[in-house]
Chains A and B, each alone.
Chain A
Amino acid sequence: MNIEERISGSAKLSASGDTAIFTGEIDMRSPSDFLSPFFDEIAVQMGELVRLDFTPLEYLNSSGIKCIVSFVLSKAEGSRIIFVVDNNKSWQKTSFEVIQSLDEGNIIIEEV
């Protein structure tokens, strides 16, 4: 994917190959203003599989979780998502497991 890097406060969104990377803390009042355009570009450029790497993400507020849920449920039919999560960040495992359960057949969790 060829997506321009975005920065807001301590949060950074970037992409490399088939992986989108979420870094820092996403805790703004309206994270959809920051995340949704990024997800829109991913949706356009992704192939059948996209990796969303959350391992460098330290915090994501509940409004940000809503944005991820929205992306997951609006992806093209037949496409698959890999959530890459940090085993040492328990919030990632708990929240992303619940998001995975919304579309278990097409979402995989990879713990590192």
Chain B
Amino acid sequence: MTFNFDLTYCQKWENVSYIRHFVADMLSEEFYGLSDSKRVSTATSELVENLVKHSSSKLANISISREGDASEILLKATNTVSKELLNQFETIFKDIYKGDPKTVYKEMMLRSLGEKDVSQLGLARIRYECEGEISYQVSNCKDNPKLCQSLPKTSKHQLLTIIVKVPMSDQLLNSNNKEGAL
């Protein structure tokens, strides 16, 4: 089943739970199984939290899609970041790929205790608990001017897109394949 949900939204904390609930309902167990639905909605929630906490502008974008019979659901979360925030993100990104997902999640739990206002656990959680494969892209504001419109024209902010591929459960894929064979 192909779908593409794409939302540019205002950076309000309340939107974190609204979007999580919407995604969980959209991928309700009737279509994707409870486990898949929860993993995608949890990953979405952690990404949207990050956007609200760390964005420089008033708007951000989240998209959730699946192409045909693809074995994963693709999440893309885009916001504007300063050079400093981008450097911080790239450091965390490198850290969460320094070991296997469970070991890194445990290490990040311990490391989070030294952080005053943030946990920095979100990406490690997405990788382990949601089984997400994470990557990112950096681009210029001209690729999505709407997200940058609240920033000064002289701003040197860039767009950071975090991409997460959440695999669908084998059981569900097998079931889909059987349906296709019929």
B110 pairs with A102, CB closer than 8 A: yes
A65 to B112, CA, bound (A): 10
A29 to B106, CA, bound (A): 22
A90 pairs with B35, CB closer than 8 A: yes
Q: How large is the interface on A (under 10, 10 to 19, 20 to 34, 35 or more residues)?
A: 20 to 34
The one of A62, A66, A98, A99 that contacts B46, using a Cβ cutoff of 8 Å: A62
**Measured between C-beta atoms, what is the minimum distance from A31 to chain B in Å?**
9
A62 pairs with B106, CB closer than 8 A: no
The verdict on B42 contacting chain A, using a C-beta distance below 8 Å, is yes
**Measured between C-beta atoms, what is the minimum distance from A8 to chain B in Å?**
12
A29 to B45, CA, bound (A): 12
B109 pairs with A98, CB closer than 8 A: yes
Contacts A27-B16, A98-B105 given: A66-B113 contact, CB under 8 Å?
A: yes
**Measured between C-beta atoms, what is the minimum distance from A92 to chain B in Å?**
10
Contacts A62-B119, A94-B129, A102-B106 given: A69-B112 contact, CB under 8 Å?
A: yes
B45 pairs with A59, CB closer than 8 A: yes
**Measured between C-beta atoms, what is the minimum distance from A102 to chain B in Å?**
7
The verdict on A25 contacting chain B, using a C-beta distance below 8 Å, is yes
Chain B 8-46, CB-CB to A under 8 Å as 1, else 0, gives 000001001100100000000000001100110010011
Contacts A61-B46, A66-B113, A69-B109 given: A95-B119 contact, CB under 8 Å?
A: no
* Listed A/B pairs (27) with beta-carbon separation below 8 Å: A25-B17, A27-B16, A27-B45, A29-B13, A29-B53, A30-B117, A59-B20, A59-B45, A61-B46, A65-B109, A65-B119, A65-B125, A66-B109, A66-B113, A69-B110, A69-B113, A73-B113, A88-B34, A90-B35, A90-B39, A91-B39, A95-B125, A98-B105, A98-B128, A99-B109, A102-B109, A102-B110
A interface list, Cβ under 8 A from B: 25, 27-30, 59, 61-63, 65-66, 69-70, 73, 88-91, 94-95, 98-99, 101-102
